[in-house]
A and B are shown apart, each in its own frame.
Chain A
Amino acid sequence: MTGDPRAFFALDLGAATTAAALIGHVAGRWRLLGAVTFPAGVPVPAVLEVLGSRVTAADAELAAALGAAGAADRPRLTVRSTPPAALAVVAVSERSLETLGQAADRTGWRIRTASSERLDPIALTAMLLDPEVSAVLVGAGDPPGADERSSLGDLAALVAATANRRPDLTIILAGSMAGQAPRFESTAERAGEVILAPAAGAGSPPAGPLRELLERARTWPDDSRHAFARAVGTLAETLDRRVEGIELGLDGAARVHASPGHGGGAANVQTAVLSTAALVPPDPDEAMVDRALAWSTVRLDRHRMRDRLRDLRLHPWGAIPGEGARLRLTAARTAVARLVGGTPELSALPPADLLVVGGGAWAVAPGPAIALAVADVVRRPGACQLAYDHARLLAPIGAVEDVAERRSLLADLAGDLLLPLGSVVMPQGMRAGKAAGRLVVHGATASSQLDLVPGGLELVDLPPGENAVAEFEFREPVRLGTRGRHFAVDVAGGLGGLLVDLRDVPLRLPDRPDRRREVLAAWQDALWTGGEG
């Protein structure tokens, strides 16, 4: 962004989705004037033209004052998804490979692993020469084990020979492998870097420094997931609340946990980016098909489900009317489940007060259905507010380098960019089969009450902008943040209202497919307003 603009565009250019928002300075603060979402492939100037004309149609006077019409010369804040790249992780022993693989796993790379203990030099060389591999992480124990020492030089020589044949390849030497650095030529014509990295187990938390290095080696400077993580941190500082962010796209997903710093300091942010938690990985495996079948309300055999997932990968926005949107949300559920399952260290942190979801994967689902999808797979006992980054503004704001400017922008825009989906209250430890107690929701004007039935999912109408106190009286002690029988929880409204989720934590679904589909349909149908089912 340059100069002192009165309006600017925020662009998030994803692998499948182009999101554009127009931000204007109105009455002394930044406001979201309009946002549009199109499939990637629609030319950006045409997208901005539509956005400008819609803002003008909505408020011609304001648009004229801000100069909203005419997209070409407007300043832009742009982020984009870094295209996925493959990282070959190689080690001398299977033991070292496991440690290295775990470190690399949550850094957004598509990982291929091999050890010289298992793979012969021809197969290992072929793997490293594969043009899809753009970097190699090579390591051994630090210090190397007795069984590794004899093979260390051979593996280093093999990787060095490959680097010689592929000057574009980035080589990352971790731990004791850094001692082999002299084998790697560093000539002017070599485009790929040779990087010395800490050992997989080094640092606090363990593998933290190596992960950070691997993330930096993967991403472009305007990477949207990196910017999203930074914005979630700033949001935690601005709201002074613990915030969790889940960003889900075609090629990967990010999970961010941010706690506000003490005394207005910088937030403590922990991030994981998983390529395996993409909406649909390039070649869906059996496990992914199984999970999709488990969450699907559409009757499909496993072969057709695999075909539908493959087609979803090819055309993420294709055939959405009818079953397409539900299939995409099913894929989103399985992706978030993989993301949560793949980041246990983030699940171990204190629960967030606010969970923000973002990314193109959600773009075709109604807000309440998104809330339920998240509640289905992020199973943490407690109470949490859900919000949706509907205009995909967080990542562009995260791209603002200056901390103070970013905080000020986010403080102005937080109310506009976070679409409240509702609140989820999820107690744990209820006994099945009998009424577990009573809930009274004290709203601004009226109160409502309902019986709490274990295994059920209750929706209490609580519109966006409205706050209430939910008073729970359980017959037996349950876990809801702490253990007890009587709780009063402040809840905020949203498109999905208040979701009182009395289902099991973790969620258990019926084994029989037809019964499971019935149960899922019963939960989901009410939230797809206007849908055909």
Chain B
Amino acid sequence: MAGRAVDGRRGVTRATIGRAVTRALSNEPVAPGYDLIPARRLIEPAIDVWFPLRPGDRPRVASGDAVTPGSSVADRLRDPRIAEMRLRFGGRPGERWSREIAGGGGGRRTTHQEGELLFESGGRWRIAAGDAHEPLESPVTGVVRGVRPGIALSVRTSGSALRGVLALGDATRGRLEIATDADGEIRPRSLDVGSAGAILVVGARIDAEALTRARAMGIRGIVVATLPGKDRRDYLASEARQRAALHRLQSFGVLVLHGSSRRPIGSAQMRLLEKLSGAEVALVGTPPALLFDPQGVQPEPDPPGTVHIRTGPLAGRTGRWAGPAGLRSFAGTHLEAGFVRFGEDAPVALPLADLERLR
């Protein structure tokens, strides 16, 4: 453990955050220097989420439209190609274009062509067109804030958000299930079809094999503390191979809460996820976040003076601020530090950079 004890006095237990403890600590004065700890929100209300669009994708909604989980917001164009033609009535870049081609005699069917206008040069428009589309469904409830063809559409969500640092795969939705504790790890063989349709919280880390198996089992998403770079790359390669095949994949997303090197899910995040267990939640990629209905699951606010350890050997733990420790040497490196008390133990000095406040 980094740092050292200030004195040998024993204090009262502070790590257990029950209602009685919360009430008791709320009245305790906070040691000075608490504002030196960077603060961020644990839960963000009503964020804007973005669904990236590529040239040729067909938006199905307009600004101001209400969306609900499962409603189609756009059709993604598979294998777009360039079509060139003169347009009688002109157009503007980004606008949709379509035409019907009569089938001629003999009762042949007319064909429908459509696409997105890209640019006009030499009197001819270049159009992003194609035949096969895949629907993009909204995993969230909210209101469409803006639609920019070829760029993105944004939705102001009506729920709250727990942010992560990285998301892979698709936006998705499912019932949240806690599969391991905060420091746990799930093996591929532990996954079964009983979790189909669920979003699993799988603890400290997961490997590519378990991710691939999870998708094959019909699991809709994974929430994990860390995802090593190798597993991220292996999983993305596997997903790309699947997508190259012409069948449509069901949505599957991965939300990484903290980073790449193994560590447990932070205690504050885990408490929230436990409260959400059994509830319908959504995972989105831009920004990487888990979205949920806050009704009835709002966690008690941290008692004043609470600090969360975000990096270092104690990452994931929660303690109580015991005052600034000034500039301290940690293994030969001088860092601004603060004292943190864990439970009944004497305070230890930790680098300020390893701490955060969650509002």
A interface residues with partner B (beta carbon < 8 Å): 36-39, 41-43, 45-47, 50, 120-122, 125-126, 129-131, 153-154, 157-158, 160-162, 164-166, 303-304, 306-308, 310-311, 314-315, 317-322, 325, 364-366, 528-532
Say yes or no: is B343 at the interface (Cβ < 8 Å to chain A).
no
CB distance from A177 to the nearest CB of B (A): 14
Contact A129 B150 (CB under 8 A): yes
Contact B351 A121 (CB under 8 A): no
Residues in chain A near residue B332, CB distance under 8 A: 325, 366, 528-532
Known: A122-B118, A318-B353. A39 touches B311 (CB 8 A): no
Contact A306 B229 (CB under 8 A): yes
Contact A310 B331 (CB under 8 A): no
Contact B38 A161 (CB under 8 A): no
Known: A122-B56, A129-B151, A165-B93. A310 touches B229 (CB 8 A): yes
Closest B residue to A321 by CB, please name it: B330
Say yes or no: is B287 at the interface (Cβ < 8 Å to chain A).
no
Binary interface encoding of chain B residues 78-109 relative to chain A, with 1 for a CB under 8 A from any of its CBs, else 0: 00111000000000111000000000000000
Residues in chain B near residue A43, CB distance under 8 A: 35
Residues in chain B near residue A308, CB distance under 8 A: 260-261
Residues in chain B near residue A531, CB distance under 8 A: 331-333
Residues in chain A near residue B331, CB distance under 8 A: 321-322, 325, 530-532
Show 24 residue pairs from A and B whose CB-CB distance is below 8 angstroms, ordered by the A residue.
A37-B336, A38-B336, A41-B38, A45-B35, A50-B33, A50-B36, A120-B82, A121-B126, A122-B56, A122-B118, A130-B151, A131-B151, A131-B152, A158-B119, A161-B93, A165-B151, A311-B311, A318-B353, A319-B313, A320-B351, A325-B332, A366-B333, A529-B332, A531-B331
Residues in chain A near residue B23, CB distance under 8 A: none
Binary interface encoding of chain B residues 47-58 relative to chain A, with 1 for a CB under 8 A from any of its CBs, else 0: 000000011100
Contact A42 B38 (CB under 8 A): yes
Identify 8 new A-B residue pairs, CB closer than 8 A, beyond the known A158-B121, A165-B151.
A46-B35, A131-B152, A165-B149, A306-B230, A317-B351, A318-B312, A319-B312, A319-B354
Residues in chain A near residue B126, CB distance under 8 A: 121, 158
Report the interface size for chain B: residues with CB under 8 A from the other chain. Answer: 51
CB distance from A215 to the nearest CB of B (A): 27
Closest A residue to B54 by CB, please name it: A126
Bound: A147/B294 CA distance, A: 61
**Residues from 149 to 163 in B contacting A, C-beta threshold 8 Å:** 149-152
Say yes or no: is B352 at the interface (Cβ < 8 Å to chain A).
yes
Contact B352 A39 (CB under 8 A): yes
Contact B351 A307 (CB under 8 A): no
Say yes or no: is B228 at the interface (Cβ < 8 Å to chain A).
yes
Residues in chain B near residue A165, CB distance under 8 A: 93-94, 148-151
Bound: A311/B260 CA distance, A: 6
Say yes or no: is B122 at the interface (Cβ < 8 Å to chain A).
yes
Residues in chain B near residue A365, CB distance under 8 A: 333
Say yes or no: is B37 at the interface (Cβ < 8 Å to chain A).
yes
Say yes or no: is B2 at the interface (Cβ < 8 Å to chain A).
yes
Contact A315 B353 (CB under 8 A): yes
Say yes or no: is B236 at the interface (Cβ < 8 Å to chain A).
no
Bound: A122/B36 CA distance, A: 49
Say yes or no: is B184 at the interface (Cβ < 8 Å to chain A).
no
Bound: A160/B80 CA distance, A: 21
Bound: A318/B333 CA distance, A: 13
Bound: A532/B332 CA distance, A: 7
Say yes or no: is B143 at the interface (Cβ < 8 Å to chain A).
no
Binary interface encoding of chain B residues 308-322 relative to chain A, with 1 for a CB under 8 A from any of its CBs, else 0: 001111010000000
Residues in chain A near residue B94, CB distance under 8 A: 164-165
Known: A321-B351, A365-B333. A311 touches B56 (CB 8 A): no
Binary interface encoding of chain B residues 139-181 relative to chain A, with 1 for a CB under 8 A from any of its CBs, else 0: 0000000001111100000000000010000000000000000
Closest B residue to A283 by CB, please name it: B229
Bound: A93/B324 CA distance, A: 59
Residues in chain A near residue B197, CB distance under 8 A: none
CB distance from A137 to the nearest CB of B (A): 18
CB distance from A35 to the nearest CB of B (A): 11
Residues in chain B near residue A322, CB distance under 8 A: 2, 313, 330-331
Known: A304-B261, A531-B332. A42 touches B118 (CB 8 A): no
Bound: A158/B93 CA distance, A: 9
Residues in chain A near residue B336, CB distance under 8 A: 36-38, 50
CB distance from A154 to the nearest CB of B (A): 5
